[in-house]
Structure 1
Amino acid sequence: MNRTVRLSQPEAIIFDMDGTLFKTESLVVPAYHELFDRLREEGLYEGKTPPVEVMLSGLGMVMDQIWAKVLPDHEEAVRRKADAWFLENELRGLQRINTELYPGVAETLAKLKQEGVRLFVSSNGLEQYVKGVAEAHQISSLFEHIYSAGEYRTASKVHLVDLLLRNHGISKAWMVGDRSSDVAAGKENGLTVIGCAYAGFCRAGELEGSDRIISSFPELLELYLGSV
């Protein structure tokens, strides 16, 4: 990562959702505990709820991969039910829980849009969840389009970002995210990568390969205004 070289100004910026724009644990933790209460009630799970950190550590993966980590000894049918019930819990939670964006997200996105940057979301989450978060926090209108692995049935964020770039004729963009999947999605598609180190979900070295790493979201505007 060479901080002495100024970044090239993008025509578009693509954002991950969880751990980048949205403070995911404000919604996931209660939804997760509600899920395991229901799984036990339905006779589909026995014992203590797995540590919520297992779920949080999987954020950035597609949902099939997350459930394989959380429910490794359960059949696919149970995982599918868990997936559906968890989504129900999240969507209800968006209506009744005070969930949070990271500080400065809405304001920074609005300023970037005013600067003429095309803004997108690319998330490995489910369509209803990703769009539901944006709508609940009134930032949907700031994005030209919201892409999710759930909607486009992509196996990785690399493919999802490639689809986004081709669909919108974008050749010069920044990828902004907090996980190694975001770094890979950016680098394998020839983009500048801005790693986000403020969420606390990423492992040591996970953002290696990023062109810059920011410790708060508003730093992104400073990077954009300083680019050439």
Structure 2
Amino acid sequence: MHMTTLIFDLDGTLIDTASILLPAFRAAIRCFPEFPQPADSVLLGTFGLSDHDVWQLLMPGGTPEQHEKALKLTEAYVKNGLFETNVLMEGAFEVIETLHRRGYTLTTASNCGEAYLANVLDSQGLRPYFTRPLCLGSVRGVCKADILSEHFRHFPKADAWMIGDRKTDIEAAMAHDIPSIGCDFGFAAEGELEHATKVIHHIRELLDLFPA
């Protein structure tokens, strides 16, 4: 049994929910006609951000109540979409199943809310492979490093890796002085992964980095 803990981001690392999230964002924003519809590039730029930062970006100047209502509307649209769609990155299920079988401890650190995390794990058949999966919502945190702080109350920090596609993943790992793997197949802009310990270009590369 390995002592290594692999901490996974979700969007852009294990899943790609753009086909679900973009229409969901647009449908929610249509309920607030005073706000213009953002460009697709702006919507894609929200991946990896906290719910608070997402709605500050998509509905600038909106009230906390408006942002909360938009979030709830989006969550309802997304839940329906997730249970009808395979959003896993190509090869992701095979990699997760293999790493779990090899004895690695797998968990999550996503800047999403609790409902989204639960719906992703359940709709995509991932829940059996993850131990104590967490997100920003479940720890009531403000940044991804807060999720890792909670993880390290239960998992050994000495053998932990953060795996994700955005700068926030790399920064969280650096804040805790653990190594990181940057996934250069997600939503990162150029230069976001420059401080990652390693960079991979397909999720299957994890099977070489973490052998049986």
TM-score grouping bracket, smaller chain normalisation: over 0.9
Render the CA deviation track for 1:112-164: whole Å, top value 9, x for unaligned.
Answer: 11111000011110111112111111011000121011121111101111111
Report deviation, 1:223. Answer: 1.2
Q: How does 1:33-48 map to 2 (within 5 A)?
A: 33-37=26-30, 39=31, 44-46=32-34, 48=36
Given the alignment of the two structures, is residue 120 of structure 1 paired with residue 107 of structure 2, yes or no?
yes
TM-score computed with the length of structure 1 as normaliser: 0.87
Report deviation, 1:45. Answer: 2.3
Q: Name the CA shift for 1:168/1:69 in 2 (closer, same or farther; >3 Å).
A: same
| Residues 23 and 99 in structure 1, CA contact (< 8 A), matched pair in contact too | no
Render the CA deviation track for 1:81-112: whole Å, top value 9, x for unaligned.
Answer: 1111111111121123x242101111111111
AA aligned opposite 2:50: V
Instruction: Extract unaligned runs of 5+ from structure 2.
Output: none
Q: Which range moves more in the overlay, 217-226 or 77-86?
A: 217-226
TM-score computed with the length of structure 2 as normaliser: 0.93
Given the alignment of the two structures, is residue 204 of structure 1 paired with residue 190 of structure 2, yes or no?
yes
Instruction: Extract unaligned runs of 5+ from structure 1.
Output: 1-8
1:5 match: none
**RMSD across aligned positions (CA):** 1.7
- Which of 69, 75, 97 aligns to 1:110? It is 97
| Structure 1 moving runs of 4+ over 6 Å | none
Distance 2:36 2:57 in 1: 16
- Which of 219, 222, 226 aligns to 2:205? It is 219
**Counterpart secondary structure, 2:152:** helix
Q: Name the CA shift for 1:29/1:69 in 2 (closer, same or farther; >3 Å).
A: same
Q: Name the CA shift for 1:135/1:188 in 2 (closer, same or farther; >3 Å).
A: same
| Residues 26 and 99 in structure 1, CA contact (< 8 A), matched pair in contact too | no
Distance 1:92 1:126 in 2: 16
Distance 1:190 1:198 in 2: 24
How many percent of aligned residue pairs carry the same amino acid?
28
Distance 1:191 1:127 in 2: 25
Report deviation, 1:10. Answer: 6.2
**Counterpart secondary structure, 2:188:** coil
Aligned length: 211
Larger-Rg structure:
1
- Which of 12, 34, 44 aligns to 1:19? It is 12
**Counterpart secondary structure, 2:48:** coil
Q: Which range moves more in the overlay, 72-81 or 122-131?
A: 72-81
Distance 1:67 1:25 in 2: 16
| Residues 29 and 35 in structure 2, CA contact (< 8 A), matched pair in contact too | no
Given the alignment of the two structures, is residue 132 of structure 1 paired with residue 119 of structure 2, yes or no?
yes
